[in-house]
Amino acid sequence: MSKNTEQNTEKVQKFEYKAEMKQLLNIIIHSLYTHPEIFLRELISNSSDALNKIRYRALTDKNIIDPESELKISINFDKKSNVLSIEDTGIGMTEDDLINNLGTVARSGTLEFLKGIKDGKESVSEHIIGKFGVGFYSVFMVADEVSVETRYAEKDSKGYLWKSNGEGSYTVEEIDRKERGTKIHFNFKDSAKEFASEDRIKGIVTKYSNFADFPIFLGKEKINTVEALWRKNESEIEEKELNEFYKFITNDYEDPLAHVHLSVESTKANFKALIFIPKSAPYDFMRNQNVKALHLYSNRILIQRDCNDLLPEYLSFVKGVVDTSDLPLNVSREVTQSSNVMSEIRSVLTQKILIMLQRLANKENEKYLHFFKNFGPLFKTGVNHDFSNRDKIIELLRFESSSLKEGEFTSLKEYVSRMKGEQKEIYYISGDSRSIIDRNPNLEYFKKKGIEVLFLIDPIDVLIIPSVPEYDKKPIKSIEKADIDLMPEDKIDKPEDNLSKDLLSLFKSVLKDKVADVVPSKRLVESAVTLVSGKDSMDPQMEKLMKIMNKGMPLPPNVKILEVNTSHPLIGNLSKMYIADSSNPLLEKSILQLFESALLLEGNLPSNADFINRMIDLMKEATK
Ligand code: ADP
């Protein structure tokens, strides 16, 4: 931001917005028109933050302006002059605050996101905008020019007036202001005339800000509830109130998917909590997992917004409030992090949330699946990170499978209940999508036998499942590994004829160190060959993931075992060809082509060109 040296008067300083800020303002003002009414929610939320800050500070510091003044938000609308003002007795802003806080965009990624909306890349559905606070600047949706009068709470502070038309620049000047806090005022612009009435303003406040921590007055009337909903008895809380409260703390437009109301009294910690699970995951969910909107209160007083320490990261989609009487009010972040009370709350809260999810899964499966589809990728990581609750999280995992229709899910428990008598192991296969998995030759045997195989389609699955060696005493195994325990009737080795033995040796001498071994297959039905991993090597999906994580750096080669279906007609033909003329060049070509087809199927073919040239040669022969 650059200070303009050619000022109109001595005292008024003029500042230019940075180019990025100008773009952002332009988008907010001209493209976000779906919900201009949220300007009021944003301003009240800023006032409420400022009031929380002064309340917190006043606990230890009485040397502030107006230490006894009531903590409140006053809204006034003057019909005649068409002026709306919102004033708080919060902490106020210094001159630097005004320049730094009202001149820049706080949230990183804001601009990209808003540009995405403008260019039609992000869909402008109500709830995206709702979740996405546009902050103070949303006021320019309803006003052409905005004034902010403010005075910081310290005794030697001065008053300032900030003014801007939200286009290119703003001004700051010193003013005479006695009271601590901030007052924002403006005229409604013509396109926002619909808001210019007390009834409408009251409606908006109660819709979005009913549960603010401080009283909100419109004229002389107090118009919000100011009650700690979580302190009421469960039976006294109406669903409507719960939903409103949830929307208030999250800015979500949708009702929550589920909630739990807790009142915990133990020797280690006492607390009440109102906890929610949202319906949909935010657009940047897996990139940005900081806990948002899980607030920590001490005896009804907010002591930490967005408190990361209340829950493990894998549950960071959870919203709500936790209120305890066991933490001192003026406790610092570091103290809360290391306190026993805090770790007790965290542990109890985690368990209660897992119980709630399990209950949801038992009683309202559809809702649970909705949750799992939205938050599963993060939630699953708990298997690797929360050892004490690992078993409970494993019960809550869901997978698609070969016995279910696309889009249907099973738990491990349900899988086990469907296992046939002789089946001793739980099987899975991983892949990018159901249709790719369905075509994998390694699935053929299991399909023929009607043995269910779990489909690991979410990329996170291959990081989770290999660390769960068994469930209900049954080993969990990838069907792409060599050591699967086949059904008893298939264990008896077929007497191997010399013919196919010789052919397999030829495979080995052609493929050399490209394969770890070449063996007759027990699992193939329709395909001629397939690749499987040795029992201690990586499965293909894991390998792919490692490649991505290694950012293209070469990995040690993961050499596989080639299984050959000796009853396949093509293999039969090759045997005959081998007997007739063991040096026929078509033999080598066919073997290489078979091997590379298997590589192609698992997405590991090194050179398309070689593969295609060889295919054309073979076609030439076949069409001779
Ligand atoms: P956010 O609230 O997401 O940080 P805003 O654009 O709404 O973004 O506000 C920017 C900053 O301006 C706030 O973080 C706060 O520091 C300051 N601010 C805004 N309104 C007030 C107010 N009423 N009292 C004190 N500070 C305020």
Written as one string, the DSSP assignment of 549-609 is HTTTPPPPP--EEEEE-TTSHHHHHHHHHHHH-TT-HHHHHHHHHHHHHHHHHTT--S-HH
- Burial class (CB within 10 angstroms; exposed 0-12, middle 13-18, buried 19+) of 509: exposed
Integer CA distances (angstroms), 331 to 106, 142, 274, 293, 434, in order:
26, 40, 22, 19, 51
CA of 47 to the centre of ligand 1 (A): 8
- Burial class (CB within 10 angstroms; exposed 0-12, middle 13-18, buried 19+) of 353: buried
Q: Which two tokens stand for residue 612?
A: 């295609």
Task: Average the pLDDT over 173-199 and give the result.
Answer: 96
192 and 107 share a domain? yes
Domain closes at, from 326, 352, 369: 369
Give the integer Cα–Cα distance in Å for 25 and 111: 10
pLDDT for 29 equals: 75
For ligand 1, is residue 106 a contact (CB within 6 Å)? yes
CATH number for the domain including 34? 3.30.565.10
Residues 358-388 pLDDT 10s: 999 999 999 999 999 999 999 999 999 999 9
Break the chain down into helix, strand, coil percent, rounded to 5.
Answer: 40, 20, 40
Which carries the bigger pLDDT value, residue 330 or residue 456? 456
Residue 376 forms part of a structural domain: no
294 and 420 share a domain? no
| Confidence class for position 1, pLDDT limits 50, 70, 90 | very low
| Buried b or exposed e, range 356-395, using 16+ CB within 10 angstroms | bbeebbeeeeeebbbbbebbbbbbbbbbeebeebeebbbe
For ligand 1, is residue 102 a contact (CB within 6 Å)? yes
Residues 407-456 pLDDT 10s: 999 999 999 999 988 899 999 999 889 998 998 999 999 998 899 999 99
Judged against a pLDDT cut of 80, whether residue 217 lies above it is answered with: yes
Task: Average the pLDDT over 35-59 and give the result.
Answer: 89
| pLDDT-above-90 percentage for the chain | 57
246 and 346 share a domain? yes
- Determine contact, residues 532/563, Cβ cutoff 8 Å: yes
Task: Looking at the CA of residue 137, tell me the nearest atom of ligand 1.
Answer: 6
Give the integer Cα–Cα distance in Å for 285 and 315: 12
| Ligand 1 atom 20: residue of nearest CA | 46
| Confidence class for position 552, pLDDT limits 50, 70, 90 | low
Judged against a pLDDT cut of 60, whether residue 129 lies above it is answered with: no
């570091």: which residue's tokens? 334
CATH number for the domain including 247? 3.30.230.80
193 and 90 share a domain? yes
Residue 417 forms part of a structural domain: yes
For ligand 1, is residue 93 a contact (CB within 6 Å)? yes
Residue 384 forms part of a structural domain: no
Task: Looking at the CA of residue 184, tell me the nearest atom of ligand 1.
Answer: 23
358 and 413 share a domain? no
Residues 148-181 pLDDT 10s: 999 999 999 999 999 999 888 999 999 999 999 9
| Confidence class for position 126, pLDDT limits 50, 70, 90 | very low
Q: Which two tokens stand for residue 467?
A: 């660390």
| Ligand 1 atom 16: residue of nearest CA | 101
**One-letter amino acid of 56:** Y
Give the integer Cα–Cα distance in Å for 494 and 83: 91
Residue 454 forms part of a structural domain: yes
pLDDT for 497 equals: 64
The most confident of the ranges 25-29, 287-291, 328-332 is 25-29
Residue 244 forms part of a structural domain: yes
Give the integer Cα–Cα distance in Å for 174 and 151: 10
- Determine contact, residues 171/213, Cβ cutoff 8 Å: no
CA of 46 to the centre of ligand 1 (A): 5
Which carries the bigger pLDDT value, residue 345 or residue 540? 345
pLDDT for 74 equals: 98
Judged against a pLDDT cut of 70, whether residue 133 lies above it is answered with: no
pLDDT for 377 equals: 93
CA of 106 to the centre of ligand 1 (A): 9
**One-letter amino acid of 71:** L
Task: Looking at the CA of residue 46, tell me the nearest atom of ligand 1.
Answer: 20
Give the integer Cα–Cα distance in Å for 196 and 120: 31
Nearest CA among 293, 336, 337 for reference residue 318 = 293
Ranking 169-173, 523-527, 536-540, 584-588 by mean pLDDT, the lowest is 536-540
Nearest CA among 443, 456, 455 for reference residue 484 = 443
| Ligand 1 atom 19: residue of nearest CA | 46
Ranking 176-190, 235-249, 328-342, 518-532 by mean pLDDT, the lowest is 328-342
Three-point CA angle 147, 28, 41, nearest 5°: 65
- Determine contact, residues 428/455, Cβ cutoff 8 Å: yes
Domains of the chain: total: 4
| Confidence class for position 11, pLDDT limits 50, 70, 90 | confident
Nearest CA among 566, 444, 560 for reference residue 504 = 566
Residue 566 forms part of a structural domain: yes
- Burial class (CB within 10 angstroms; exposed 0-12, middle 13-18, buried 19+) of 619: exposed
For ligand 1, is residue 90 a contact (CB within 6 Å)? yes
Task: Looking at the CA of residue 53, tell me the nearest atom of ligand 1.
Answer: 25
CA of 619 to the centre of ligand 1 (A): 71
167 and 38 share a domain? yes
Give the integer Cα–Cα distance in Å for 526 and 236: 64
55 and 149 share a domain? yes
The most confident of the ranges 72-86, 119-133, 243-257, 335-349 is 72-86
Task: Average the pLDDT over 46-57 and give the result.
Answer: 92
Q: What are φ and ψ of residue 151, in 5° steps? A: -145, 130
Which carries the bigger pLDDT value, residue 549 or residue 243? 243
- Determine contact, residues 341/348, Cβ cutoff 8 Å: no
209 and 239 share a domain? no
For ligand 1, is residue 533 a contact (CB within 6 Å)? no
For ligand 1, is residue 136 a contact (CB within 6 Å)? yes
Give the integer Cα–Cα distance in Å for 284 and 166: 28
CA 346 to chain centre: 20
CATH number for the domain including 451? 3.40.50.11260
Residue 183 forms part of a structural domain: yes
Written as one string, the DSSP assignment of 455-517 is EE-STTHHHHGGG--EETTEEEEETTBTT----HHHHSPPPPPHHHHHHHHHHHHHHGGGEEE
CA 579 to chain centre: 60
Range of the domain at 519: 498-535+547-622
Label residue 306 left, alpha or beta by phi (over 0 means left) and psi (-120 to 50 means alpha).
left
For ligand 1, is residue 42 a contact (CB within 6 Å)? yes
613 and 596 share a domain? yes
Residue 383 forms part of a structural domain: no
For a ligand 1 pocket test, name from 40, 43, 46 the mutation site with the most ligand atoms within 8 angstroms of its C-beta: 46
CA of 240 to the centre of ligand 1 (A): 29
288 and 153 share a domain? no
Length in residues, the chain: 624
Q: Which two tokens stand for residue 623?
A: 């069409």
| Ligand 1 atom 14: residue of nearest CA | 101
Strand partners for 444: none
pLDDT for 321 equals: 95
| Confidence class for position 403, pLDDT limits 50, 70, 90 | very high
| Confidence class for position 495, pLDDT limits 50, 70, 90 | low
For ligand 1, is residue 543 a contact (CB within 6 Å)? no
For ligand 1, is residue 209 a contact (CB within 6 Å)? no
Which carries the bigger pLDDT value, residue 290 or residue 310? 310
Judged against a pLDDT cut of 50, whether residue 130 lies above it is answered with: no
pLDDT for 107 equals: 53
518 and 592 share a domain? yes
3-state secondary structure of 124: coil
| pLDDT-above-70 percentage for the chain | 87
Task: Looking at the CA of residue 90, tell me the nearest atom of ligand 1.
Answer: 24
Give the integer Cα–Cα distance in Å for 570 and 587: 11
Give the integer Cα–Cα distance in Å for 107 and 114: 12
Task: Average the pLDDT over 525-545 and give the result.
Answer: 80
101 and 207 share a domain? yes
Ranking 33-42, 250-259, 492-501, 605-614 by mean pLDDT, the lowest is 492-501
Give the integer Cα–Cα distance in Å for 124 and 131: 11
